[in-house]
Amino acid sequence: MARTKGNQFPSHSFSRRLNSMLRVDARRMFATPLFWVCLGVSFAIPILVLVMTGMVGGAADGLMFTNTWQIIESSGGGMMAAMGGALSGGDAAAAEAEMDMTGMMNINLMYFLIGVFLCLFTAEDFRSGYAKNLFTVRARKTDYVASKTIIGVIAGALFLLAFFLGGVFGGSVAGLSFDLGDAGIRGLVMCMLAKIFLSAVFVSIFLLMSVFAKGRSWMSICLSLFGGMLLFMMIPMLTPLNSGVGNVGMCLVGGAIFAAAIGAVSNAVLKKTSLVG
């Protein structure tokens, strides 16, 4: 390598800087035990839920999954129905009946797991001094926000896919139906894509909380779970099992807009606050 000497300052474009940072973040993500633990948890949760609810529940009391895709569809909307019932002053018992397993234990839980992962992953940057190293060299705050958002979405996609595979495995072990009904394979694929693109919205919120809390992971996790909860209700509406191109497009565009807008706020937080203790 020809070493740069004297007053030569070769250009370091945004794409070049982002490329370097993504390589480092990807390498770190796949090297950290936390990622593999989260991936394992993502795979194990649906298996445990489908198999164990089959063992302890009964179809009559509404606690049991009758179809494998209920854990992906998440359209039971137990929380939504419960809240709706409470808000409209409707029959409390009816609302309570809707608080079933399919509404509570489903793939949407992965959005919280993404939050926990991203908060711990980002907090480590600040605790170890890696962020300090990064910003004292050529990195700009924008590069950091972009890189972490992309890595968060990739991690989220992998967690969602692991949950999906776990669901399929759990469904076959529990002997559940795999009937997709009107949705079909296309709807299932679109549903998963929509969920993956939608994760960008959550990732950008979690990242904002993380850069605000810096090395204090407990704070970023609490803030992220609170922030994520506010948007949690919209997931089943935007990503039903019979999703079409419209759902995918909406999640993609929405995810991009949210990521850009909240990313700008994260960028401003990094610029305005001290990066060292």
Interface residues with another protein (CB under 8 A) are 1, 3-7, 9-12, 16-17, 20-21, 23-24, 27-28, 31, 124, 128-140, 271-272, 274-276
- Residue 3 vs 185, nearer CB to another protein: 3
Output the six-digit token pair for 188: 């299932």
- Distance of alpha carbon 8 from alpha carbon 65, whole angstroms: 65
- Residue 13 vs 88, nearer CB to another protein: 13
Closest CA to 51 of 166, 161, 171: 171
- Distance of alpha carbon 243 from alpha carbon 237, whole angstroms: 10
- Residue 32 vs 67, nearer CB to another protein: 32
CB of 121 vs another protein, minimal distance in Å: 11
How distant, in Å, are the alpha carbons of 53, 161, 228, 274 from that of 239? Answer: 24, 15, 16, 39
- Distance of alpha carbon 130 from alpha carbon 77, whole angstroms: 41
- Residue 4 vs 88, nearer CB to another protein: 4
CB of 136 vs another protein, minimal distance in Å: 4
CB of 179 vs another protein, minimal distance in Å: 47
CB of 37 vs another protein, minimal distance in Å: 14
- Residue 6 vs 89, nearer CB to another protein: 6
- Distance of alpha carbon 205 from alpha carbon 202, whole angstroms: 5
Output the six-digit token pair for 170: 């759990």
CB of 241 vs another protein, minimal distance in Å: 41
